Amino acid sequence: MIVTATEFKTNIGRYLLLADSEEVLITKNGRSVAKLVSARDGKTSALRSLRGILKGADVSLESIRKERLAKYDESDD
């Protein structure tokens, strides 16, 4: 479902309930600014949306882990 930001603010409760069963796309001035989805989908939904993006890329779980942890090592300096 697509709603304007004004409509969303006016009826936020309705759209929070609706988000449990379908995605709610929020627009402002005709442009998409946010998407409200069920928290119940959790990580599985996020992973499904990323499927194929890294296909064929030379990326390992270990390199991802090192990159993620590197920002904490830099902040200790």
Measured between alpha carbons, how far is residue 22 from residues 9, 30, 35, 42 in Å?
18, 20, 10, 14
Closest CA to 2 of 23, 17, 16: 23
Domain locations along the chain? 2-75
pLDDT tens sequence across 38-57: 877 655 656 666 666 666 66
What's the CA gap between 51 and 47, in Å, rounded? 6
Say what the pTM is.
0.53
Measured between alpha carbons, how far is residue 44 from residues 2, 35, 48, 55, 56 in Å?
23, 17, 6, 17, 21
pLDDT tens sequence across 52-71: 666 666 667 787 788 878 87
What's the CA gap between 19 and 24, in Å, rounded? 6
